[in-house]
Amino acid sequence: MGETISPSPEAVERAPRDELALARYWNRGRLPDGCRTTDGQVIHVVYRGQWSHGYGPDFRGAIVTFDHGPATRGDVEIHVRASAWRQHGHSANPMYDGVILHVVWLAEARIPSPAPVLELCRYVAPEDFAALPNPGRLDESLCSVFQNRTTAARAVRIIERAGDSRFQARCTTFEGDLACSTPEQVLYLALMECMGYAENKLPFRILAEAIPYESVASPHAATVATRLQEASGLIDGASGQGLLHRDQWKLGRVRPANNPLRRIDGLAEVIARAERHGGLVAFLAGPEAMTDTSTLLSRLQAHTGEESLIGRDRALEIAVNGVLPFASALARDDGRVDMDDSAQRLWRVLPAGGRSRVERAMRDHIAIPSRNNALRTARHQQGLLHLYKRTLQRRYPHLRHRPDLRLAAFPAAG
C-alpha cells in the first residue's frame, strides 16, 4: 500500500517546477499501490493513457478504477499545482470534459475540478523525479547534419530512436485497448482505421464499433463487404438501414484508391482470407505472419482480378500503424517474449513506403542528399514524422496543415 508522505517545506521547494517532469513520472507507469485521491478514493491505474504531447488533456484514453469499482476510461490532466486548472481555463473548455483524474504535485487550493485529484507529494519523493529519463528530448536539431559521416550517422540514430518512440506509443495504446476488448475486435478496429487514411479515419472507427468483428467475420468476402457497406450509409437503396449517414464521410477530392467502398472491399478480402486460415489474429499477428516482411505484406494486400484493392504502400501503413504494434502489445500481454521479439524485428527492417508531404518536407529541412539511402525503412519514416510532430507542429500549431510553411519558419542550421 502506498505510503503517505508529509512533505516538508524543503521537499516542496525541491519539487518539480514544470509539468513535463510530472508527465514523465506518470508516463513511466509506476504509481505506488494504494494511492488515494484528495477525497479518499483508492486509485488503481489499469492503463496510464497515451501521452498527447500537445493541446488538450495530457494523457488520453487512460483506464482507472476508484475504490475498486468498475474501470473508468477517460483523460488525465497533469499540473504542478491544482490551481492551474482554473488559471488555464480548463473549466470552460469542452476539451477537458473527459478528464477522469487530475494529477498534481501540490493540491494547494480547492478548485471546481470535475475530476478527482491525486496529490503526488503525498506518495512520491522529489528525488524520484531526478532519475527519470526524458523521452521527449531527441537531441539537437537535425538541420544539415548529413554534411559529414559522423553527424549523419548520429542523425540516423536519433531518427531511429524517434521512430521507436512512435512505435512504442502505438504499443501502449493497444495495451490499453486489449484490457477492454477482445484481441480480434482490437485488431479489426485498427485495420478499419487504417482503411480510412486521414480523411475518413473517424467514420471507419465508428463503423467498426457499430458492427463488431464477431458480427462481420465470414470466410466469404462478399458477405463481409455487403454487411459493412450497407451499414456505412454509402449504398443508395441498401436493404438495411445504414448506421452511418453518407454526410459523415469525406468523398470529395478523395483519390479513387482511397474511396471508402473500395477500401471496404479490400478489407473484406483480407478478413475472408483470415477466416479461412485460423482467424484474424492468428492470420495477421501469429508466428507465420511474423516470419518475414514479405509474408506479412502479402497477407495485408488484396486484389480482385487485376484490380488492386490494397496495394503494397497501404499494406505497409497497416503493418506500421496497426499489425506490428498490436502483435507486440498482444505478445507482452500473453507473456510471449519470442513473439514480441519477432514483431520488434520486423518493425526494424520493414521497408519504407511512399513518401508523404511531411516526410518530403523533413528531408528537405535536414538537407539529406537525394541519393542518400540512409533513411530507407518504415522506422526511419516514422521517426521523421515523430520529430515533425514533437518539434515543428507543436512550435507552430497555427500552420497545422502547412508543413512546408512551418518548416520554412523553423530556423535551419548552416
In the predicted structure, residue 261 carries a pLDDT above the cut 90: yes
With a CB cutoff of 8 Å and minimum separation 6, the contacts of 379 are 160, 163, 164, 167, 347, 348, 350
With a CB cutoff of 8 Å and minimum separation 6, the contacts of 29 are 45, 48
In the predicted structure, residue 2 carries a pLDDT above the cut 60: no
99-106 and 72-81 strand pairing: parallel
Q: Please report the pLDDT score of residue 414 as a whole number.
A: 31
Rounded to an integer, what distance in angstroms lies between the CA atom of residue 59 and that of residue 76? Answer: 5
In the predicted structure, residue 413 carries a pLDDT above the cut 50: no
Q: Are 239 and 265 in contact (CB under 8 A)?
A: no
Q: What is the pLDDT of residues 29-67, one digit of tens each?
A: 778 888 999 999 999 998 888 777 666 788 888 899 999
Which of 122-131, 163-172, 189-198, 241-250 is the least confident region? 122-131
Q: What is the pLDDT of residues 166-188, one digit of tens each?
A: 999 999 999 999 999 999 999 99
Q: Are 56 and 95 in contact (CB under 8 A)?
A: yes
To the question of pTM greater than 0.85 for the whole model, the response is: no
Q: pLDDT-derived band of residue 397, with 50, 70 and 90 as boundaries?
A: very low
List b or e across 142-179, with b for residues whose CB sees 16 or more CB atoms inside 10 angstroms: bbbbbeeeeebeebbebbbbbbbbbbbbbbbbbbbbbe
From residue 370, alpha-carbon distances to 69, 363, 365, 373 in Å are 57, 9, 12, 8
From residue 255, alpha-carbon distances to 167, 196, 235, 259, 262 in Å are 28, 12, 19, 7, 11
Average pLDDT over residues 349-372: 79
Average pLDDT for the chain:
83
From residue 190, alpha-carbon distances to 44, 202, 318, 333, 389 in Å are 27, 11, 8, 17, 21
Q: What nine digits make up the cell of 221?
A: 468476402
Q: Please report the pLDDT score of residue 23 as a whole number.
A: 86
> Within a 10 A sphere around the Cβ of 190, how many other Cβ atoms?
23
If you search the block for the grid coordinates 465470414, which residue do you land on?
218
From residue 203, alpha-carbon distances to 194, 225, 251, 351 in Å are 11, 16, 12, 29
Q: Please report the pLDDT score of residue 7 as a whole number.
A: 53
- β-bridge mates for residue 47, sequence order: 63
Q: Please report the pLDDT score of residue 193 as a whole number.
A: 94
| Residue 337, amino acid | V
Q: Please report the pLDDT score of residue 282 as a whole number.
A: 97
Q: Which residue has the higher pLDDT, 364 or 222?
A: 222
> Within a 10 A sphere around the Cβ of 67, how many other Cβ atoms?
11
Q: pLDDT-derived band of residue 322, with 50, 70 and 90 as boundaries?
A: very high
In the predicted structure, residue 410 carries a pLDDT above the cut 60: no
Q: What is the pLDDT of residues 264-294, one digit of tens each?
A: 999 999 999 999 999 999 999 999 999 999 9
Rounded to an integer, what distance in angstroms lies between the CA atom of residue 268 and that of residue 216? Answer: 9
Q: What nine digits make up the cell of 87?
A: 488559471
